Amino acid sequence: MQNVERTIISQYSNSPTIRALIAQWNDAIDPSAWIDSFYNNIWNVDTAQGIGLDIWGRIVGVGRILQIASAKFFGFDEATTLSADPFNQSPFYGGQQITSAYILSDSGYRTLIYAKALANISDNSVPSINRILMTLFSGRGNAYVIDNLDMTMAYAFSFTPTPVETSIIQQSGVLPRPSGVQATMVLV
């Protein structure tokens, strides 16, 4: 309470014992510190930590564990610029990626939560997906969608995403794409 002195009747207004008891009681039950802590650690996605991000993950529908590609391959059509190496540097692509389960840090999980939240409200149009990519990767370079005009599209990046970001883009399935359209990722 901001002005606790107003609650003391005039008969006890000069009693130091009563005033001290009421002031201590007011400090003990003051919820403002708890409300600030709740807002910063749970409610505000930008500052949430640990359990707060886990709650937001349940709200938008993503978990903290992500499969991260752990090896590059020498490949052809199935390879992307981030998963392939030149000849004689990596093994041939055998049909599926070698991945490992990775528990995302708060920073990586926050990016995944934002990606899923933005995808949840997207209409899957190219301008909408471009806004999502520019929001997720602002200040890092250009990120946009290329429509290949053959029921495929590519998420194009002028910078190299981190391994966690690459897994969010390629393996999490949270970035939107129009129904029936195959999506890949390229560096330009």
Give the amino acid at 31.
P
Q: What confidence tens digit (pLDDT) does each residue in 25-68 have?
A: 888 887 788 889 999 999 999 999 999 999 999 999 999 998 76
Instruction: Note the pLDDT of residue 13.
Output: 82
Are the C-beta atoms of 79 and 135 separated by less than 8 Å? Answer: no
Sheet holding 182-187, edge to edge: 143-147, 152-157, 182-187
Radius of gyration (Cα) for the chain, nearest Å?
26
Q: pTM here?
A: 0.70
Q: Place 135 in a pLDDT band, splitting at 50, 70 and 90.
A: very high
AA letter at 187: L
Q: What is the pLDDT of residue 85?
A: 59
DSSP state, residue 10: G
Decide if 64 contacts 70 (C-beta within 8 A). no
Mean pLDDT of the chain: 84
